[in-house]
A and B are shown apart, each in its own frame.
Chain A
Amino acid sequence: DVQLVESGGGLVQPGGSLRLSCAASGFTFSNYWMHWVRQAPGKGLEWVSRIKTDGSYTTYADSVKGRFTISRDNAKNMLYLQLNSLRAEDTAVYYCAGGDSGFYSSWGQGTLVTVSS
């Protein structure tokens, strides 16, 4: 079975940093585009970033561009999201998702990031 497990969330002060991880298993990780999608408490879905199968191409939402960095390690079946210069509005559950370049059929359970002083 496809499994995606996020970790690394927590409470951080405004301006701080976090690194989220997503461990993949049950499928050929290197064949999948991977994405991060977030959902603020009680709000809708917001796409954050994506990375191509080999890591050679990445794109970001305007709201996080220049602050967040997506990366992957295909040898370890791991996806990462480095979050810098965090703001209160970045508070959300962060999901990793895998699939095609634009849509995804596999989702993790999410990790909560709370930005507060």
Chain B
Amino acid sequence: IVLTQSPGTLSLSPGERATLSCTASQSVSNNYLAWYQQKLGQVPRLLIYHASSRATGIPDRFSGSGSGTDFTLTISRLEPEDFAVYYCQQYGTSVLTFGGGTKVEIK
């Protein structure tokens, strides 16, 4: 399954809402889709699994939604620490795949 993330770069200001898209080339089984955040020079961090379940310790301003082939990560109000690259990943097949990433940068 090929995952396409859009936009490639999102330029926003702190306090704004961010909407990130992940589109799969075929339906993701059981909505087995995760989102990760990676800040510059750091290790990725799990945000969301099963499309909409927040991982332990993740603030509720992060939410995931979607099903089938279309998934969305929403950050309700951007905090300064949220500017990073975000990756979606599907695990509904035996071969897992990541999307190419969306960079959320400060406008």
Contact = CB atoms under 8 A, between A and B. Distances in A.
Interface in A54-78: 59-62
Nearest to A47: B96
B16 to A, nearest CB: 24
Nearest to B98: A45
B41 to A, nearest CB: 11
A110 B44 CA distance: 11
* Chain A interface SS verdict (over half): strand
Interface residues of A, number: 23
Nearest to A104: B46
A44 B49 CA distance: 19
A101 B30 CA distance: 14
A74 B94 CA distance: 23
A44 B96 contact: no
Contact of A105 (B55, B85, B96, B100): B55
B89 A47 contact: yes
Interface string B44-66: 11100100000110000000000
A101 B32 CA distance: 11
Contacts of A14: none
B57 to A, nearest CB: 9
A9 interface: no
